[in-house]
Structure 1
Amino acid sequence: MAGLGRTVIARHRMARLWALGDRSNPVSKAPGLVVTDEEIEASWAPFTTSSDGGIPRRINLNSRAPFAPWESEDNGPNMSASIGHVLPPSLDEADAGEVASKGELLPLSWQALNHDEGLMDDNLNPHVVVLTDALQLANRPGRLVEAIHVVKKRFPGALLWAPGIGGPDNCAVLSWFGIDLFDTTRTKQAEAHGAVLTWNGPRIAMEGESSNSHWRSALAEVRSAISSNSLRELAQSQSLNSPRLVEHMRNHDKIISKSEGVLSQIVSEGSALRVHSLESHDDPIILDWFDYITNKYQSPEGLDDVLILLPCSARKPYSSSRSHKAFRNAMKHNSGHEVIVTSPLGLVPRDLEEVWPAGHYDIPVTGDWTQDEVNRVTEMIDALLAKKQYRVIINHSGLEYSCDIPVIDTRQGSSATNHESLQRLEKAVAENMQTKKRSGERINLDNFRSVSRFHHLNSDWLEGVQVRGRFPRWKILKDGEQIAMWAPERGGFSIAKACIGILDRCDSLKRITLKENIKWKGDVNLANLESYDSSIKAGEDVLVMQGSQCIGSARASAPAWEWSGTPGRLAKMHQRL
């Protein structure tokens, strides 16, 4: 029997929704269940498991549907492996001796991750990885999420099963970490005590109530959330079921914040960063934004040395909101450096207001600031002042700030759109601006250069271009030929074929390399990929090389952590020279 047929049909950072079997008509999906009998449908539980009870124990994982239909109409593949000798994670410096067998089914333990050199074999390509000591790791601070992360990055093409720890009450959290398969160990233990595990935790079972209905509901929620890029919020909510889950979430955030090639640069239209709790303020995408604005951001050249701090708005982008239209009418000028003060991102420069996540977040507004929020904003403003010599700060944000240069408070305790506040804003701008107003084309060029520095390696490819067309789909031309278009639904550029050579010469995009002597016809996948940049984010445009020649561009479907082993599309052809 051939290997397990599996295709990623949706992804959200480390979590993925897998189609099992025929990719066009999958008979089951993961996240899903591994069961010991036939108590739940194969669409929710794609595998059964059994063990021989020997020492060392041998486990079997059998498919409940034909997951390799191109090979056989029978159910399969059926996989088996010895788990070897497994010592407790506390003995991580000890070598257990006999290691687990290696094949399509790969049992792993914390000791194996530390001592088994065979795991580094490039030819090792398991279909399912079993984290055999997951239950013990879950009770050691930080170890579970660390082990999961190591396994996912080493074997990105495998489904991950963590026996004994999953339930309807934590499957969203565990899926967020990257676990694909759960089992019914905990739900059966609960049933033995007259209890049931629900989405919100354990409780006494009602008469005739079955755990299977809770599993179906929980898995449906998780699968839907992965498809809609909302699993983070779902996991954050479910983590409140126990202090240990909150601990795991925090440790996971720390690991992802230190990892490259995990986040997204462009998200699908309709996606949102929903920051509905204080815990969400440490989401790695927010910390990534903080790092960029603090350490790498450059304000547009030629602006006046006036920093204008403005409040955020519920509507995104801010410039389309009623309040920001009022600010614009009051200022009657556009050459100041406008920066929006907001939580949780801290600061959003006007020139980056349409990109992810700045143009796609949602947060409850009470008007109150926590000390952590104030500290984040203050640190980011300090960083701006360290990079540019502003003459004055016009503060219309409502957040107090003081420094060595003059700060003009135009709010003075009133609302941002109060008539007197707007008059003070108008006066402050009129008295302090020294440069001329920018043309509409100049504003667009300044914004596009900022976005290019944020999304790409540089903005050199925009030298000598003109901006034409109509809002919001501006056309970018060079020597009369269109080389790109602004795509507002992406918060980024749509690059034309004529631009590929320019991007190549300017070294403005990251690069991937395809194997020699292969004609590139469509997707980038493991069959034609030779090398890639390890920092690629999902949605990012990359140059496609073959040898020393640039042959086109592609758009990353998956972040770089998946590129070493995930079957299926890694990037989609965008332009072919």
Structure 2
Amino acid sequence: MTEHFEVHARDAAARRGELRLADPLGTPALVDDVLDDAGSRWHEPREVPEDDPASLTVLPHRALPPGTEPPVAAAFAPDVPDVDYPSAAVVSPATADDHGTDAYVLAGATGYVGHAEAFVDALLAVKDAIPADAALYLPGVATPANAATLAYAGVDLLDEKRARARGLEGVYLTTDGETFLEDLAELPCACEACRTPIAEFSRDDDGDAAADVLDLIEDFEARTPVFRRNELLAATDDTLRRAEIQRFADRVTSRYRRRLDAPLVVVPCSARKPYSDSRSHRQFTDAIAYRGHVVSMSSPIGVVPNELETTYPAQHYDSVVTGRWTETEIEFVASVLARYLERADYDRHVAHVPPEAYREVCERAAARTGIDFEYTVADHPTTDASLAALEDALAGQDSYRMSAREQATVRAIADVQFGDGAGDQVFGPDAETTGRYPKLRVRDAGGDQLATMVAQYGTLSLTLAGARAWRDSDAPTKTVRIDDFVPSGSVLAPGVLDADEAIRPGDEVLVEGPAAFAVGRAACHGEAMVESTRGVAVDVRHCTAR
């Protein structure tokens, strides 16, 4: 149990926390000024230090270099003393375990610099072995260029050692990398230290002129929230690798079920979100007149069936519009469209898309699936001629009712949120929708409300009746099992006995215990719920005593 470190918030692998010293330190943080190293036992015996609440004490240790064989590491690993003050244990991938300290130091961390694969393997091995609510410290590796990435990877504590050492070697460090000071005509940073003329710098100076940290582009799926409040900026091809993008594409092509019996109509995305609020999509809607099933095509999202236009991240991204798609974008969207077409099984396929990138995507997907698209755009999708061609392509096609689309919407969201076919399994054949899109409510045949559509994120918020329907259905559930108490407002981690590993932050979850049944949203991923010793595990929405 961590007595002196607490995680306050998580985002993917990154955490915001607090190291509870005499003067509390918010994390991620530099620890140079608060670290007290009791020393190595390789050369001489070391006594366990006395209580110092103002410092994080690194307990006596035997650090091992990267690549040390596990039997050797185990043979030389010292026992970690049990102390009641802020403490850290030095561990390697082979010796990492729950040693009861507040923080863990990766031994030989500097040896992983420049060896990305070995670094990732070591980091994951240590994080999997230590408690989920303990702090992780990587000494001697942080620079302005990698500090943000380290924090996003789940490293809580860093230091200035590497930056200072490089500065003493005459190297100037920035968020973009490093440059020899002698090669710079002027310094790119405007901080007080860097306003000093270059000629006055010497190797006695720190050389650590950090400006803003880099934006982070790599997520960890298990720890990545199912939705975020902030906008997702799509500026490079790296966005396509983000967990949110990959997760949405996977769920659309493996969970979503088409329920509207109409021809496919592929249309381009719009700058305004949700798409149906944009001027171009209102024009498309008028021409289609509920005679086709609209699926928007976008980079970086892939394909977005009309029912999922509000589901994160479909209405939460902003892309840099250049008018050109890269080969990576075209191939990604084409692969998603091909997988979607194989599963959706339409009788007709209409592509109301502009030439060049959008057309290339459709042609690649058609070649892979053996289907034929009917193209209705000669120049631009919103010209009178193109809209007339779209309307003519659907002439004679039966239209469906708005109520059918609303039914399809809540069931499609359930599919994506809970699992393949969950929209029918949880709500059954007789459920009805009330309210006005996008704030729809789902009621069963007896009129009891089962769920509400959360328009901001395109998710479903269950009532207790809906939670019971989910539990009793064949759809896979995500359950948190708690001790013998009735939660009020939230379930804290110490009260969690078990939690499904599939739970992601923000997921709808069932809470079950001997004394209570509840439904709410996960505040962290399932593994963290079980391993953490403090903090909120579930924000409870509805609860009833048993």
Bin for the TM-score computed over the shorter chain:
0.7 to 0.9
Instruction: State how far apart, in whole Å, the 2-side matches of 1:424 and 1:152 are.
Output: 57
Corresponding residue for 2:481? 513
Q: Does 1:234 align with 2:215?
A: yes
Identity %: 24
Matched, 1:153 2:111: no
Q: Matched residue of 1:563: which SS? A: helix
For the structure 1 residues 101 and 397, does the alpha-carbon distance in structure 2 shift closer, same or farther, using more than 3 Å as the test? farther
The aligned counterpart of 2:186 is none
1:105-120 matches, within 5 Å, as: 105-112=88-95, 119=97
More moved, 203-212 vs 476-485 = 203-212
Contact 1:88-1:133 within 8 A present in 2 as well: yes
Higher mean Cα deviation, 492-501 or 334-343?
Answer: 492-501
- From 37, 57, 60, the equivalent of 1:50 is 37
Q: Distance in 2 between matches of 1:81 and 1:500?
A: 48
Q: Contact 1:85 / 1:100 at 8 angstroms: preserved in 2?
A: no
8 A Cα contact 2:454 2:460, kept in partner: yes
1:261-300 equivalence runs, <5 A? 261-268=222-229, 271-300=230-259
Amino acid at match of 1:198: T
Structure 1 residue 303 corresponds to structure 2 residue 261: yes
* Amino acid in the other structure paired with 1:469: G
Q: Secondary structure of the residue that 2:119 maps to in structure 1?
A: helix
**Aligned counterpart, 1:180:** 156
Tell me the residue number matched to 1:95.
Answer: 72
Instruction: Work out whether 1:392 is the aligned partner of 2:389.
Output: no
Match of 1:44? none
CA distance in 1, matches of 2:371, 2:35: 69
**1:189, distance to aligned residue in structure 2 (A):** 1.1
Equivalents in 1 of 2:55, 2:381: separation in Å? Answer: 64
Match of 1:164 among 140, 146, 152: 140
Tell me the secondary structure at the aligned position of residue 294 of structure 1. Answer: helix
1:450 deviates by: 0.6
Offset of residue 375 of structure 1: 2.5
AA partner of residue 231 (structure 2): A
1:192 corresponds, among 145, 154, 168, to 168
Q: Give runs of aligned pairs for residues 36-47 of structure 1, distance below 5 A.
A: 37=33, 47=34
Of stretches 164-173 and 13-22 in structure 1, the one that deviates more from structure 2 is 13-22
In 2: Cα distance, 1:263 partner to 1:335 partner: 37
Work out the CA distance in 2 between the residues paired with 1:9 and 1:214. Answer: 29
Partner secondary structure for residue 555 of structure 1: strand
> Kindly tell me: are residues 524 and 314 of structure 1, through their superposed partners in 2, closer, same or farther at Cα, counting changes over 3 Å?
same
| CA-to-aligned-CA distance 1:350-401 (integer Å, 9 cap, x gap) | 1111111122112112232333322223323332332243222110123232
Partner of 2:522: 556
Go from structure 1 to structure 2 and tell me whether the alpha carbon gap of 1:61 and 1:395 turns closer, same or farther (over 3 Å shift).
Answer: farther
Aligned mate of 2:60, from 47, 64, 82: 82
Q: 1:135 to 1:573 in 2, by over 3 A?
A: same
What is the 5 A alignment of 1:524-563?
524-547=491-514, 551-563=517-529
Compute the TM-score of the two structures, normalised by the length of structure 2.
0.83
Amino acid at match of 1:281: L
Q: Per the alignment, in what secondary structure is the counterpart of residue 31 of structure 2?
A: strand
Matched, 1:415 2:398: no
Classify 1:61/1:160 alpha carbon distance in 2 versus 1 (closer, same or farther; 3 Å).
farther
- Tell me the amino acid that sits aligned with residue 258 of structure 2: S
- Give distance in 2, aligned partners of 1:507 and 1:58: 61
Mean alpha-carbon deviation: is it higher for 527-536 or for 289-298?
289-298
Unpaired runs of 5+ residues, structure 1, are 38-46, 64-71, 114-118, 222-232, 237-248
Partner of 2:415: 453
Q: 1:471, CA displacement in angstroms?
A: 3.9
| Cα deviation code 1:186-238 (max 9, x no counterpart) | 222133234443333345355388759956x65xx6xxxxxxxxxxx7134xx
Find the aligned partners of 1:500 and 1:176 in 2 and give their Cα distance: 34
CA contact (8 A) 2:6 2:133 kept: no
TM-score (norm 1): 0.79
Which residue of structure 1 lines up, in the alignment, with residue 454 of structure 2? Answer: 487
- How many pairs were matched up? 501
Tell me if the contact between 2:35 and 2:56 (Cα under 8 Å) persists in the aligned partners.
no
Using the alignment, how far apart are the partners of 2:463 and 2:226 within structure 1? 19
CA shift in 2, pair 1:423/1:16, >3 Å: same
Are the equivalent residues in 1 in contact too, given 2:56–2:88 (CA < 8 A)?
A: no
Matched residue, 1:13: 12
Instruction: Please tell me whether residue 321 in structure 1 is matched to residue 304 in structure 2.
Output: no
Shift of 1:132: 1.3
Superimposed CA distance per residue, residues 138-173 of structure 1 (whole angstroms, 9 cap, x where no aligned partner): 332312122222322332111110010012232111
SS in 2 for 1:430: coil
| Long gaps (5+) in structure 2 | 182-193
